[in-house]
Amino acid sequence: MSRISLSRFLIEEQRQHGALPPDLRLLIETVARACKAIAHSVNKGALAGVLGDAGTGNVQGEAQKKLDVIANDILLEANEWGGNLGAMASEEMELPHSIPDHMPRGRYLLLFDPLDGSSNIDVNISVGTIFSVLEAPEGNEQPTEQDFLQPGSRQVAAGYALYGPQNMLVLTFGQGVYGFTLDRELGSWVLTNSRMQVPETTKEFSINMSNQRHWEAPVQRYIGELLAGQEGPLGKDYNMRWVASMVAEVHRILVRGGVFMYPKDARDPGKPGKLRLMYEGNPMAFIIEQAGGAATNGHQRILDIQPNGLHERVAVFLGSREEVERVTAYHA
């Protein structure tokens, strides 16, 4: 049986199912090529001199790694000239990035976290890229920040690249979730995972337990029940996993189930959470729901949240539906 490349898969989706407009297909191929370039830089590591701090900070006030800056620049440069985008927004930049005036503009808006989990770079643990695609308001040739502020339910595509022992690209267009593995010899993404599904039940959870003393009561209750094991109210033993890279956590959930949590905590009561709604919460919620899972902020479906700012934060509970519904009910 012949292997199906990303390009062939996208063309067949466009041709046979009509689920993929041609300009969206070209945009996804451009993002995928950029992710290959980022993978190359990540894989070279110290050999290319890309490890360590960049000596700069991002709009979030976080110290940037050299690869944060490199990955951001790769995505900007790759997507400026294709004619598919009206503007881009990045977790690393305060304001949207406009398409240069001498370049053609398109109907889509691209948002991305260029290198998720960058605290893992220097210790050679998996990191990734997360992206989300929205449609720009019709007739607006100069998209503004306000044009990006759409609920996640209006995403037309989302995905992530995982840079690990195998480099993988996971995509959804609202018609299921598909995974592609990078063939490093041929330089092409090859379809390896069709119609990925999150098991409804699980015995694994992911959370940063060092923050336990700061959590709200519903999360304390839920984690206490997980840790109680067979003797507790849930009647089974759970294993905990924590990679400190959302891409790696979500990929594990897609492959074998689980629940990932990054709740609000008392260290900064004014913030609803730590993760960014537009660059992390929305695209990952879209992927997880398309794979049969669930994603909430503890109170409502993440994809229904109306964003108020480009860098808005959100609490996240996502993964196997049974567990997400349980912890969400405790908040109620």
> Is 118 marked as a binding-site residue?
yes
> Is 188 marked as a binding-site residue?
no
> Is 147 marked as a binding-site residue?
no
> Is 115 marked as a binding-site residue?
yes
> Is 208 marked as a binding-site residue?
yes
DSSP string, 257-308: --EEEE--BTTSTTSS-SEEIIIIIHHHHHHHHHTT-EEESSSSBGGG---S
- Angle of helix 246-256 relative to helix 282-290, nearest 10 degrees, comes to 10
**What residues contact residue 249 under an 8 Å CB cut-off, 6+ apart?**
206, 241, 242, 243, 258, 260
Nearest-CA neighbor of 169 among 20, 71, 32, 281? 32
Cβ atoms within 10 Å, residue 332? 7
> Is 117 marked as a binding-site residue?
yes
> Is 91 marked as a binding-site residue?
yes
> Is 274 marked as a binding-site residue?
yes
> Is 206 marked as a binding-site residue?
no
> Is 36 marked as a binding-site residue?
no
Alpha-carbon dihedral sign for residues 119, 121, 123, 128: positive
Q: Where are the beta strands (DSSP E) in 29-105?
A: 53-57, 63-65, 85-90, 97-98
CB 72, CB 96: distance < 8 Å: no
The binding site for substrate comprises 116-119, 208, 274
The binding site for Mg(2+) comprises 91, 113, 115-116, 280
The binding site comprises 91, 113, 115-119, 208, 274, 280
